[in-house]
């Protein structure tokens, strides 16, 4: 679990960070502590920071990011971490996103402790009064004046991170004005919900390889079917070619047989027409001749009878 706690000075970030560390077994990474540790260890980044810190200057963002990059590689940070004091600006947040992405990591949540600045100033005044009453020494930086300046810096530099992480849907806002125990309980609910969501994601991820395997086996089966279909297709193609040739041959023979008949039928039809005409003409001519032949004997008989009658008349 990788977290950031946001909130103005005096909001109770340090107290809540300790509760989270104990409950979830992660480490709290303070940029100040990391810088001092890097300088002490003499790392390349620590040596660069040492000269700047010795001169009283502000350590550049790239050096701070480099120190964080080295620190989160250590074994105790593998389960997760809470960043304390970083990022303070939007450019630092963007640099942190780039760093985590390069390592294949993501930020799980940013918890904002929202408080009333007027109430914070009153708390500081009350605490100072109580410390003086007990005879305790008051730190020079623990005064209402210093706190007012720190709050102004927070508004100008760090408060824009609320919108930055809100747009990324990483932000969870907690009412920091509640009692410490209530704030702790609210943070616990947020982180428990986050843990449940992470567990579901891991469960889905665990099922994905099986799904991929199933897809792969399906793909293999399809490949086998395609290969066998290809072989069958080749055989079928050969058979189809043979059948096609057979059909072509049969078609040619059929055409050869049918063509003469068609040609003869056409010729017969053509020759039948003049024959029919000739037959009709012959019938007509025969009818006329028959008519003439039938009429001729009658004329001859009539002429013969007339001659005979004339002869008999003369004799008589």
Catalytic residues: 13, 88, 127, 139, 150
174 phi and psi angles, rounded to 5 deg: -120, 140
Contact in structure between 109 and 194 (CB atoms under 8 Å): yes
CA–CA separation, 121 and 148 (whole Å): 8
Q: Nearest 5°: CA angle at 82, between 76 and 83?
A: 110
154: DSSP letter: I
Task: Pull the structure tokens for residue 173.
Answer: 């806002």
Tokens 């001729």 label which residue? 296
Q: Which of 65, 1, 2 is nearest to 34 (CA)?
A: 65
Sheet holding 171-175, edge to edge: 27-30, 81-84, 2-6, 109-114, 171-175
The shares of helix, strand and coil residues in the chain, as percent rounded to the nearest 5, are 75, 10, 15
> What's the burial of 38, exposed, middle or buried (CB within 10 Å: 0-12/13-18/19+)?
buried
Rounded Cα gap, residues 218 and 105, in angstroms: 33
Report whether the peptide linkage leading into residue 46 is cis, meaning its omega lies within 30 degrees of zero: no
Helix (H) or strand (E) holding 28: strand 27-30
């Amino acid at each position: 679990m990788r977290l950031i706690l946001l909130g103005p000075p005096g909001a109770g970030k340090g107290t809540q960070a300790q509760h989270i560390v104990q409950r979830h077994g992660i480490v709290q990474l303070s940029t100040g502590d990391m810088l001092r540790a890097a300088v002490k260890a003499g790392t390349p980044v620590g040596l660069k920071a040492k000269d700047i810190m010795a001169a009283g200057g502000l350590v550049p963002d790239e050096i701070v990011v480099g120190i964080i990059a080295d620190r989160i590689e250590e074994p105790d940070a593998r389960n997760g971490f809470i960043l304390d004091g970083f990022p303070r600006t939007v450019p630092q947040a963007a640099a942190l996103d780039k760093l985590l992405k390069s390592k294949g990591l993501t930020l799980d949540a940013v918890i904002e402790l929202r408080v009333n600045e007027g109430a914070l100033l009153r708390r500081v005044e009350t605490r100072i009064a109580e410390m003086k009453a007990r005879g305790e020494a008051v730190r020079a930086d623990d005064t209402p004046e210093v706190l007012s300046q720190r709050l102004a810096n927070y508004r100008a530099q760090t408060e824009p991170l609320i919108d930055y992480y809100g747009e990324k849907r990483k932000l969870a806002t907690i009412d920091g004005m509640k009692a410490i125990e209530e704030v702790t309980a609210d943070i616990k609910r947020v982180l428990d919900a986050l843990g449940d969501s992470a567990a579901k994601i891991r469960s889905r991820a665990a099922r994905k390889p099986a799904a991929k395997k199933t897809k792969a086996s399906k793909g293999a089966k399809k490949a086998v079917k395609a290969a066998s279909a290809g072989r069958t297709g080749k055989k079928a193609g050969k058979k189809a070619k043979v059948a096609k040739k057979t059909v072509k041959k049969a078609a040619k023979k059929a055409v050869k047989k049918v063509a003469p008949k068609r040609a003869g039928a056409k010729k017969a039809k053509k020759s039948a027409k003049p024959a029919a005409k000739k037959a009709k003409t012959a019938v007509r001519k025969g009818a006329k001749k028959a008519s003439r032949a039938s009429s001729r004997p009658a004329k001859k008989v009539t002429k013969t009878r007339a001659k005979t009658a004339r002869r008999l008349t003369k004799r008589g």
